[in-house]
Chains A and B, each alone.
Chain A
């Protein structure tokens, strides 16, 4: 089930969820005043969003919601106000960009702050993970886009040797970066960045150079990439969604300028966020007037319209929600016995715990295998694993009892089978004996006859 989730900067509107196929509204998650690009689904399992804070606030806040309860389930308060938030596709890491230009990287299952590094001179405005989750791309208020390799971030030796942490630093934009997307193709992908200086720039990830500069008639607030990378869609301040060419040499349109092929539906107000549904080939846009529109990018027609709030929407995401609702719930019916009844991971930590042995940050396939979908193989650090092993050893946790139960079940089943086998054997033996006796009876008369 593909679901559109949208949030706005107004707290009372919450997070709206709509089924993309049917258009039916789902449970609305309450009290979320998200920052721009501050809404993300963590591995499709639950929703996380960073919250707008008072400018004077010293700490930020990141909230978690699970799909089936409207209330905020987990609240965490990082050391600084967090603006954009991003999770990798499996939902094992969350990255957050702060007001002062730091990037924080947390491990979701434990809530541990793994790394924190100074990324930009000014506030970070957008964060994106690459396809294979090995790169983080950040855009900032200072107009630069930087590419970070997680291998580099975690490699202490190379960190000390290197003069800079980033893989690339693109400094072509004059003003704040509003959105960044990365294309497909691994290391040979393109990165498209949009800025308030009215331009979108296409960068090459492999060569680290500017490939194309597209000047728009108005500021661009959001971009979405066509799955075939023929075009990209740019939502602008004047309410239009421009379609800009990526592959054509120069298919210019006099009406808008070089590389801009045309524009889609006119919203009355600025388009603030865009996302593309690959499975249905639909473009979803959120606008300043509080509406979420679902467009057919070929015809430009508005297919559906969802009313979210009066205030401006600043996040739209498409999430593939699992039909089994919450798999953990089914497997583990006595979940209420766990911590505060929450099925979500613990809150994110404020500071890095330096006392821990850093050398242990190896990611491994987790033991949770049975409770997640078989296709997923979430990675968690060995710390989390150690914790679990310890729990198992102590035989105290519910998970351990669960395992024990499973084992006993298998045992009893095996015993039952054994019993069945014995029974069968006994019957066979019995039959044999009976037959034997009868045979003797039959044989003896003949013998008697002969004799």
Chain B
């Protein structure tokens, strides 16, 4: 360890003698001075051929630097590995340069299609992936027709290939094409079905490997599901597009719905069904020998059954269509051949298998699987039961199965997803069965159905299915199924269902609004259609009693618990409100619940106005008594809570905080309703007592709300005419109330008026005061006696004969002097109005009386400040009186 140290020291010393030239690594030596310059300079270089490397610039290449052309050439290379690599390369290229695909689509497909029938498995797989992940997704828009037709020829070719693997792959390709371009199937239906039939006949192919069979069947399912058989789906898709389309626009025809479908295709489909059934029986015979049902076999069987089901539904649709179209030439033939051929095969070969039972003791999972298969068979049987005319014992077996299914398989407790979805499948047949089966079965089915409906979880989608079936049965004339509506047992069950509905609504609460909406719609449809059947109409009318809880639970003054109604979405609320129209008599208790509901400020005002509209037209149709609707309106006006509580909206505050505007709108809406509800004077007679009572109730509650009082006064004014039709008694009652009402308004306004300098604010205050005072002015104009009484009342207030206690408890505690000033302000307000001034002039005596008591008050006042204020007020009244006296002669 020591030696190197010493050595390095030596070296350092040595370094002084020999100069070391430091060279950095990688630097080139400078050229020697005697080097010859070999550079050639020229203006242009002409080469006979471009180099291989340089021509790639600007061209689309993949990772390996190959162009599309080269790759396409390599796809037909004799080495399968090269072919596969080329396909991978193409995929890579297209992912990088999507434009390339768009440009050369046709050429690419033309070349690639040759590989559909490739001998190598890996190559085919790579090609499949290429089409699936790149080519089809990128050409969704645009015309797919031509290049699909390019491919189809090679696919059909591959389908008849000797190697089974190639054939199966061809079916996979077909499935892919059909998935992306559905019209393909209808164009080539005959050929496609022919090929399926051939491959399915070769049972030995599938004996070992079920997955191969599954591959073929998946494509078949995909194809058959394209058959135009289900009208309901068409309707659903149409509903979605509603509102988007132009009214008179050109619309492209829906692709070959059945026009491209010819009789030959139909024949082929008929040929396919027995083959499928054979296939099923083959599998079944194998399965029965095994201890348990493995998934692969189960899956295959299910797919086969589903395919048969689709085919059968298509047959039925064609028959229905030909019947309705009156095309006897085609329709007669299909009906006859279906009867002879397919129907007997289905009956003799498939339905006899029912029910499928595990050969050995089965586990839970296995029995679920068998159940699913049984449901499918039942589905097929029920769809075509009219055509195959089954023997009685067989239909018994199926009916028994349906009943057991409805009752939820009491034997096994576990309700899996599968059983629920299976119920969906068979439920739609219930109305048809009810119309067809003999009476004893009808009652059994009805009982099972009702029980299942009750027990079904209200949150599940199954409940929705039940509801739609109920709608179909209860509301007649919607479809081609004609139930005997007069049947007492059916009626009993219908009543039972209807009675469930309100309870269901309340149970659903606000959390499951989609279901709530369906229930409400059902109730509405029921109301619309029930009138021709008295029992149901009575039942519908009875819904309103349990429905009270839906709006509002207990209507105690102290504790109110609102029902789910106020928390629902607006759509649901509108539906619920629409239901009210169809009760032949709307009960006052329900109206009360609704009113209570609307007094809660959480509701949107638009819903409130909508309700008033509907109730008004319900009244016009004679569904509500006049006294009920009047009390409903008056309750709304007098109890509507204006927030912020009783404070004056000084500025034009945000409408969200104050709902003062809502009340004003409500007032005008109610006024217009009451105006055409009947003869005005009659209505006035009915409501005047109620209104006066309401006013005094509000006075006694020590918190008179001036907004509500104003609303009621406006109502009176609207219905009244000039000269007044109000009774003496009412006027007496009104006088004392009006005096307090006016003083209350002015005592709130005065402090603001003195504070505000802003002109806009003052103008707003004026406008607002005017709004409150205007109904009083109208009343004074119509009844002079009322004015006189009010003046008297004011005088007695000033002189202290009547206490102002009720006002003092208001939100703004007022002492005597402020209220006196308010009275003076009221007088001035009245004086400003031309008409009232004229009337005032005939009540000079009363005003003088007020002046005198004011004088007395000035003299008795204690503090200087108060004395000054009162003095000012005195002068103002004095001036006003002088004004009146001056003008009187000229007016007279």
Interface residue ranges, A against B (CB under 8 Å): 55, 100-101, 121-122, 141-144, 163-164, 171, 174-176, 190, 196-198, 202, 204, 209-213, 218-219, 229, 237, 246-247, 249, 269, 288, 312
Contact = CB atoms under 8 A, between A and B. Distances in A.
A210 B524 contact: no
Contacts, number: 72
Nearest to B676: A288
Interface centre among A164, A176, A204 (most CB of B within 10 A): A176
B242 interface: yes
A376 B531 CA distance: 43
Given A197-B574, A213-B242, A229 B248 contact: yes
Given A55-B622, A174-B574, A175-B617, A121 B242 contact: no
Contacts of A218: 613
Contact of A163 (B242, B480, B578): B480
A122 B531 contact: yes
Nearest to B575: A174
B243 A212 contact: yes
B247 A202 contact: yes
30 contacts: A100-B532, A101-B532, A121-B530, A121-B532, A122-B528, A142-B531, A144-B528, A163-B479, A163-B480, A171-B525, A174-B574, A175-B578, A175-B581, A175-B614, A176-B617, A196-B581, A197-B574, A197-B578, A198-B610, A198-B613, A204-B247, A209-B238, A210-B242, A211-B245, A211-B247, A213-B243, A219-B613, A246-B247, A249-B246, A269-B676
A176 B477 CA distance: 19
Given A237-B613, A247-B246, A288-B676, A142 B480 contact: no
Nearest to A158: B326
B621 interface: yes
A91 to B, nearest CB: 31
A177 B583 CA distance: 17
A175, A197, A198, A247 interface centre (most CB from chain B within 10 Å): A175
Nearest to B477: A164
Given A121-B528, A229-B248, 15 more contacts: A121-B529, A121-B532, A142-B529, A174-B524, A190-B247, A196-B613, A198-B610, A210-B239, A211-B243, A212-B247, A213-B243, A219-B617, A237-B613, A247-B246, A249-B246
Grouping DSSP codes into helix (H, G, I), strand (E, B) and loop, the A interface class, with mixed when no group exceeds half, is loop
B482 interface: yes
A219 B480 CA distance: 34
Contacts of B575: 174
A190 to B, nearest CB: 6
Nearest to A196: B617
B572 to A, nearest CB: 12
A157 B528 CA distance: 30
Interface in B813-828: none
Contacts of A209: 238, 242
A46 B530 CA distance: 38
Interface in B477-536: 477, 479-480, 482, 524-525, 528-532
Contacts of A269: 672, 676
Contacts of A190: 247-248
A235 to B, nearest CB: 15
Interface in B539-594: 574-575, 578, 581
A196 B614 contact: yes
Contacts of B676: 269, 288, 312
A141 B524 CA distance: 12
Contacts of A219: 613, 617
A210 B672 CA distance: 34
Nearest to B245: A211
Contacts of A144: 528
A247 B531 contact: no
Give the 3 A-B residue pairs with the shortest CB-CB distance, closest first. A142-B528, A174-B578, A121-B529
A52 B479 CA distance: 35
A142 B526 CA distance: 10
A122 B622 CA distance: 14
A198 B575 CA distance: 12
A164 B368 CA distance: 42
B119 to A, nearest CB: 52
A209 B524 CA distance: 21
A190 B245 CA distance: 14
A393 B675 CA distance: 63
Nearest to A248: B246
Nearest to B531: A122
A237 B616 CA distance: 11
Contacts of A175: 578, 581, 614, 617
A190 B246 CA distance: 12
Contacts of A196: 581, 613-614, 617
B531 A121 contact: yes
Nearest to A101: B532
Contacts of A55: 622
A269 to B, nearest CB: 8
Contacts of A288: 676
A312 B525 CA distance: 31
A246 B575 CA distance: 26
Contacts of A212: 242-243, 247
A197 B611 CA distance: 10
B407 to A, nearest CB: 32
B242 A211 contact: yes
A354 to B, nearest CB: 23
A164 B676 CA distance: 40
Nearest to A312: B676
